[in-house]
Each structure stands twice: as C-alpha cells, then as structure tokens.
Amino acid sequence: MKIVAITSCPTGIAHTYMAAESLEIAAKEMGIDIKVETQGSVGAENELTEKDIKEANAVIIAADTKVSKERFMGKYIIEVGVQEAIKNPKELIERAKTAKVIDNDFVEEVNKIKEQRKAETKGPYKHLMTGVSFMIPFVVAGGIIIALSFAFGINAFKQEGTLPATLMQIGGSSAFALMIPILSGYIAYSIADRPGLVPGMIGGMLASSSGSGFIGGIIAGFTAGYFVNFLKKIIKLPKTFQGLMPVLILPLLSTLIIGLFMIYIIGKPVSAINNGMTVWLKNLSGTNSVLLGIILGLMMAFDMGGPVNKAAYTFGVATLSSGQPSMIMAAVMAAGMTPPLGLALATIIAKNKFTAQEIEAGKTAWALGISFITEGAIPFAAADPIRVIPSIMIGSAVTGALSMIFKSALTVPHGGIYVLAIPNAITNLSLYIIAIATGTIITALLISILKKECR
C-alpha cells in the first residue's frame, strides 16, 4: 500500500515538520510506503507529483490551514489536524485505509477532467492560469455588482451618494481594483509559493497605477516569482536566522527590486501598448469584429476549457478591466455556453445517436451549458471527437460572430444565463439570446447528421 500526505500548521514551522516525521516513522514501522508534502513557511517542500498521487491508495491531510483537495479527486482521503498526526500516526494510517472516496457522477466526471488538465499543465501556462483562477472571483463579484449599479441606469452611478454610486464603488473601485494585483500575486505564488505573494501583488498594484494594466500585471507576476526563486537560491543563512527569510529578507528585497523594475522599466512602454490595444478594440467594427467573433468562438470550443479556450477567455476578461461593457467578453461567454447546450439538444432530437448513459448526461449538460461551463461537452467529445469537435466549433463560431454583429456587450466575466436577468448587464439582450440559440441549434443539427446510430 502507498499513502501520500500533506502536513501544514498555521505558522508553517515546527508542527508541520513534526507531523511529517511522525507519519513517516509510523509508516516505516507498518511497512507502508508514504510520501509527505510539507506546506511550511517557505512554501511546499517534497511536493507530491501527479505520479505519486496516481499510485497512492489513500491520502492523509494533516493540517490546521486550508489545503486544496482538487488534485486528489477519486482518492480515499482523510482530514485531521496536525496534532493528530503527531500523536496518533499509526491510528491515522489505519483510518486512511477505509476513508471515504469522492463520488464521481457526470458533474464530478467533468470536474475531474478539469482538475486533471490543471495538474497536467506546466511551466508559464500553469502559473498564468493559477493567477487567472484566483482573479476570476474578484472579477465576477465586481462585475455583477457593477451590473447591479447599471440596472438603475447606465449613468446613474455618476450621482454621488446614491445606491448606484455605492455599488460602483464596491464593484469598480474596490473589487476591480484588486483584479490585477491578485493576478500578479498568484502568478508569483504559483512560481515561488508564499514568498512570491508580496512582490507579485505590489508589482500588480504598480501595473494598475502606471497604466500598464493587464499586460503589466502579468509581467510583474512572472518577474516577481522567478526573482524570489533566484533569491532563495543565492541567499544562504544559518539555521538560527532561517525564520527571517519569509518575513523580512525575501519580501523586502524582492518588493524593492520589482517595484523599481515596474516603475522605471515596464510602466511607460507597456502602458503605450495597453492604450493602443484599447483603442483598437474600441474601433472594431464590420468585418473585423465578425472575424474576431468567429476566431473566439472556434477557440472556446476547440478544447472546451483547455489552453486554447482559456486563452480566449483570459483575453475577454482583460477587456473588462475598465469596468465598461465588453463585446469581446459577450462573444466569449456565448460561444462557451453553446457546446454543452448543443450536445444537450442533440440528445433530445437524435436519441438514436446516443447511448442511454449519454442521454441521461444530456440533462446535466443543459445545466452546465446555461452556467457557462464549456467542459460539460468534454465527455461527449471524448467518446466521438471526430464528429463532435468540428460540430461544436462551427456552432460556437456562428454564436461568436452573431454576438459581434448584434453588438452585444457584457459587464461580467461569468455566470451564464443567470446574470442576463440583471438589467443592463448585457446590451441587446434579445439578440444575444438569439445568437446563443442559433449556435446551439446548428451544433445539435450537425451532431445529429454526423453521428452514427448506436446499435
């Protein structure tokens, strides 16, 4: 039997490592193979690989801090505090053998695929997606609150002291103001763990204040993360002073250098690029906008939540940074909703082309589609990629193009059909719904024609 474990205490110093040592000693005495990842003050050490987790029979999380469990989907798992691992490691290992396994229905299957993709991503793309994933809740919350402000009238927030002005302050001046610092901070966190947060976030703040925006924030996050890793390698202190590294030396030196770098080197040139892109997007019209809508639609459906999809989505989110409605974000969300909706419709109009299990899954695909979870199409695409993927790409391309033609603009980056009920959250709402419905019908018809009957 093989067990993997994570230990983490609030300070990340003594008990984190005591718990790990206790589990390792107990496992050795019991003849059980174990690998323990410690999440201490200097970040994760002895990190669990995808191979370690795949081979493990059970997972032990001995922590008094928040530990992410997504990568352990489908594994036997048990959670306790660090003291339990220190005092009763053998009993804990015995309990881990019979711990509860996470269920795996259609929704869980979709989530598992998403987490597997996340685990498989490496290098700069992984770090960028970590930053984006932490940033999105801020953008979603801020965007919806801005949409609520617009519900009182597009310009109602300009009257100081009113509820619309307050909502705009919460959503635009606060939540959206944190968007780029959070993106930068967690890119750096992904690269250098906790020591990367401070220089990353401060670099992101400077990107916002200098006008270099989203692009500057990405540069700040990557630079901060790799610079902190460089400092970790070259600065060697006696053990008695190791505690100063995460709280004084690393944040001070990295923040100083990254701050100077952002102000004197990155600020002005990237600000000029950012302004040029903003002008170009504002001037999009006619053939240019339709072509962009088609490209975004194809990207959203191509890998259904993979790197290409996420690149299109991240581009859409970036256009919301000004707090104004975005045609690009509208096209991206509509095109991302179309694949699961089209497949769900296909299971109704062409039942003879799907298995009983797929028809049942189609009911859940409706919910995933209207919620803008493109990954709901993955199980269908995996079963018949040659016919399904081209069909959903064509449907999403049509939706993206129509959304642009109708000049629909969205104020929020997520939420699917649920945010469309907010007045002024989307411009040209009725035409926007027609765009989604058209793409859905085209997807369903193509799949119905191309797929073979199930025997």
pLDDT tens digits, one per residue of 350-361: 888 887 778 887
Q: State yes or no: pLDDT of 99 exceeds 80.
A: no
Which listed residue (4, 6, 9, 394) is catalytic?
9
pLDDT band at 24 (very low <50, low <70, confident <90, very high): very high
CATH of 2-102, one of 3.40.50.2300, 3.40.109.10, 3.40.50.11890, 3.30.1120.10: 3.40.50.2300
pLDDT tens digits, one per residue of 386-434: 889 999 999 999 999 999 999 999 888 888 888 888 887 888 899 999 9
Phi-psi region of 46 (alpha: psi -120 to 50; beta: other; left: phi over 0): left
Q: Active site includes 454?
A: no
**Mean pLDDT on 155-164:** 84
- Computed over every residue of the chain, the mean pLDDT equals 84
Neighbours of 288 (CB within 10 A): 12
pLDDT tens digits, one per residue of 239-292: 777 777 878 889 999 999 999 999 999 888 888 887 776 677 666 667 788 899
Least confident window among 28-32, 155-159, 278-282, 316-320:
278-282
- Angle, to 10 degrees, between the axis of helix 307-318 and the axis of helix 286-302? 140
And the tokens for 198?
Answer: 């401070």
Show me where the domains of the chain are located. 2-102, 121-265, 286-450
| Whole-number Å distance between alpha carbons of 129 and 376 | 20
* Predicted local distance difference test score (pLDDT) of residue 117: 63
For 18, counting Cβ atoms within 10 Å of its Cβ (0-12 exposed, 13-18 middle, 19+ buried), the class is middle
* Predicted local distance difference test score (pLDDT) of residue 402: 95
Let me know: does 92 contact 80? Beta carbons within 8 Å: yes
pLDDT tens digits, one per residue of 187-230: 999 998 888 999 999 999 999 888 888 888 899 999 999 999 99
